[in-house]
Amino acid sequence: MKILISAAGDNKEALVDQRFGRAEYYVIYNDETHEYSAIENVGKFENSGAGVKASQFVIEQGVDCIITGSLGPKSFSIMQDAGIKGYKNIEGTVEEVIKAFKNNELVELNTAGAEQKTRGNR
């Protein structure tokens, strides 16, 4: 299973980012190999469509689920159509969020959140 986490940095010690489309990085954890990889979110500075771009990226990565603060209406719809589940993260590091996910401590995102218009850094 491949899990994508929105993060403020590029490693497992990075704090989670509550944003999805405008997150600083995406950290992907491979549950089979126990490896982490990180990719900078190149769409974080987009004037519009950051969530849609992020959703397309997620699908291209072949992830099974995402962990983030919330998904805007467009991203939520795209993820539902692609069969990719979203989970609400907790505060802490990427590694702590993965542990919480494995322990079934995260809540599945069943509704879309508000659209985020703020670009770049919080």
Residue 104 CA to residue 45 CA, distance in Å, equals 33
Residue 112 CA to residue 98 CA, distance in Å, equals 22
CATH 3.30.420.130 fits 2-108, yes or no: yes
Torsions phi, psi for 108 (to 5 deg): -70, 140
Does residue 68 contact residue 5 with C-beta atoms inside 8 Å? Answer: yes
pTM of the model: 0.87
Per-residue pLDDT of the chain (122 residues), as tens digits, is 999 999 999 999 999 999 898 899 999 999 999 999 999 988 786 777 788 888 898 899 999 999 999 888 889 999 999 999 999 988 999 999 999 999 999 999 988 776 555 544 44
Domain ranges of the chain: 2-108
